[in-house]
Amino acid sequence: MGTALIVLAAGEGTRMNSDTPKVLHRLAGAPLLWHALRAGRALEPERIVVVTGFGAEAVARAARAAEPEALIVHQPERRGTADAVAAALPALGGFAGDLVVLYGDTPFLRGETLAALAGARARHDLVVLGFEAADPTGYGRLLAQGDSVERIVEHADATPEERAVTLCNSGVVCADIGLFARLVPRIGNANRKGEYYLTDLAALARSEGLGVGVLRCDEAETLGINTRAELAAAEAAFQARARAAALEAGVALDDPASVIFAYDTEIGRDATIGAHVVFGPGVTVESGAEIRAFCHLEGCHVSRGAVVGPFARLRPGAELAEDVRVGNFVEIKAAVLDEGAKVNHLAYVGDAHVGAGANLGAGTITCNYDGVSKHRTEIGAGAFIGSDTMLVAPVRIGAGAMTASGSVITMDVPDGALGVARARQQVRPGFAARFFARLRAARPGPGEA
């Protein structure tokens, strides 16, 4: 039997004080929504429905960027979680199996926890995810005996005795889709906020004699983001966990507190990461590579034995093969550097392929953009590019070829050839002395300016 997901992502997040929908605020380089979707992938869902509201088009684009097959449902009026689920259920027509409801502003839920939640369905008709709260204020309470839930009460509607309960509701719930289809339409809004709460599902299920269970998880997994301060705290928590995980996996961090990871950073054992390195999304660093201090990497792959930096930038599409050297103040974008290639300082390599063992001197620039389109530069294996060479794409430098320093190369250079493109030097004896004397003579004297 398969599984489907509904991810609730309709909230405006007014406490964020932002024009950006709450679920699109970024944590570790990715929208909060992506974190929720990533956790949901652990269930290998057959269908995913994302419920949008405020900023619907932007949220839909973000959802499809992470999950191209996601179904998008709009909730025009945000009248509560049960209303959102009711809006989503028609999109799951024809589906038979378990349905899990997640929240787009809850980024720390682990896939393993969701798998355990789904597994608990073997013992209960409906399973809710709960946690023991250090401070339960504001949370819905799970009124339970053991792992059996009698009902869920929202904080605003709870009695003083019920508010003393510390077992709280995360909002995540799992049941057969038929249960949702039958009971969600029966949920009313007779509460202090006048909203349709999905939490009422538990009492309705119990009224039919169905079993309602609770799976407990760590409170940290249930952290929702409602304010800028909470987002900043979540970022700090993510980074602390990512650094600890990297060290545990055998990665050397010269100054762990200064390294910034993205949500999907992958680093192999025995790689070395210097101080103040920032990883954007989509970075893989293989075992034994070294990223020196003050580098910024995004959307790139660094192979075993490669050395990057210090003060280097790898942009999306940068592919560094084994033993490549990328030095200080070098930027690589949408370029492949084959094994042993060297770009040691003060260079820009974009939309290019650099062959094995090629050496690019200081000041080399691939001029890849003509103001309208991008063009490719091909540099053959073993080529030597002289310092301060401008390679005006599209252009090819052959294997074993070289360019003279200071050249502006606009035509292909065959294998083994030398490309020279610079004006012939002229020497004018005495010119500098005469030139400066003339300037000094023309300068106003004291009091004349």
Helices (H) and strands (E) in the chain, counts: 9, 33
Least confident of 18-32, 62-76, 131-145, 264-278: 131-145
Can you read off the two tokens belonging to residue 108? 């720390």
| Inter-residue contact 180 to 198 (CB < 8 Å) | no
The average pLDDT across 71-93 equals 94
- Residue 446: pLDDT above 80? no
| CA separation, residue 163 to residues 133, 157, 213, 218 (Å) | 12, 9, 20, 20
Pairing mode, strands 342-354 and 377-379: parallel
- Residue 385: pLDDT above 90? yes
Can you read off the two tokens belonging to residue 434? 């005469």
**Higher-confidence position of 224 and 329:** 329
Can you read off the two tokens belonging to residue 312? 């280097």
| Inter-residue contact 139 to 170 (CB < 8 Å) | no
Cis, peptide link before residue 310, omega less than 30° from 0: yes
pLDDT 10s digits, 203-213: 999 999 999 99
**DSSP letters for 324-343:** -EEEEEEEEEEEEE-TT-EE
The average pLDDT across 51-64 equals 96
Active site residues: 345
pLDDT tier at 423, thresholds 50, 70, 90? confident
Q: Give the Cα separation of 171 and 162 in Å (integer).
A: 18
Q: Give the Cα separation of 197 and 84 in Å (integer).
A: 10
pLDDT 10s digits, 237-276: 999 999 999 999 999 999 999 999 999 999 999 999 999 9
- Residue 445: pLDDT above 90? no
| CA separation, residue 285 to residues 66, 279, 288, 303, 314 (Å) | 22, 10, 9, 6, 12
Contacts of 402 (CB under 8 A, 6+ apart): 383, 384, 385, 386, 413, 417, 418, 419
Backbone angles phi, psi at 247, to 5 degrees: -65, -40
- Residue 185: pLDDT above 80? yes
Backbone angles phi, psi at 267, to 5 degrees: -130, 130
Can you read off the two tokens belonging to residue 426? 């002229």
- Residue 286: pLDDT above 70? yes
Which residue carries 């409906």 as its tokens?
126
For residue 416, give the DSSP letter. T
Can you read off the two tokens belonging to residue 293? 């201090």
The average pLDDT across 68-76 equals 95
- Residue 369: pLDDT above 80? yes
- Residue 92: pLDDT above 60? yes
pLDDT tier at 192, thresholds 50, 70, 90? confident
Contacts of 407 (CB under 8 A, 6+ apart): 386, 389, 390, 419, 420, 421, 422
Secondary structure class of 271 (helix, strand, coil): coil
Kindly report whether the global pTM for this prediction surpasses the value 0.85: yes
Backbone angles phi, psi at 24, to 5 degrees: -100, -5
The average pLDDT across 352-364 equals 98
The average pLDDT across 14-41 equals 95
Backbone angles phi, psi at 210, to 5 degrees: -85, 155
Contacts of 143 (CB under 8 A, 6+ apart): 149, 150, 151, 152, 153, 162, 165
Q: Give the Cα separation of 390 and 406 in Å (integer).
A: 8
Is residue 176 classed exposed, middle or buried when 0-12, 13-18 and 19+ CB atoms within 10 A define those classes?
middle
Secondary structure class of 163 (helix, strand, coil): helix
Helix (H) or strand (E) segment spanning residue 231? helix 228-248
Task: Give me the sign of the Cα torsion angle 433, 438, 443, 444.
Answer: positive
The average pLDDT across 57-80 equals 94
Cis, peptide link before residue 281, omega less than 30° from 0: no
* pLDDT at 204 (0 to 100): 94
pLDDT tier at 218, thresholds 50, 70, 90? very high
Task: Give me the sign of the Cα torsion angle 244, 247, 249, 253.
Answer: positive
For each of the domains in the chain, give its residue range(s) and CATH number, in order of start: 2-222 (3.90.550.10), 228-419 (2.160.10.10)
Closest CA to 218 of 366, 364, 85, 112: 112
pLDDT tier at 449, thresholds 50, 70, 90? low
The average pLDDT across 284-306 equals 98
Mean pLDDT of the chain: 95
Q: Among residues of the chain, what percentage have pLDDT more than 90?
A: 88
The average pLDDT across 190-206 equals 89
Which residue carries 């360019």 as its tokens?
403
For residue 413, give the DSSP letter. B
pLDDT 10s digits, 137-179: 989 899 988 889 988 888 888 899 999 999 999 999 999 999 9
- Residue 448: pLDDT above 80? no
| Inter-residue contact 12 to 54 (CB < 8 Å) | yes
Give the count of beta carbons closer than 10 Å to the beta carbon of residue 422. 12
pLDDT 10s digits, 297-328: 999 999 999 999 999 999 999 999 999 999 99
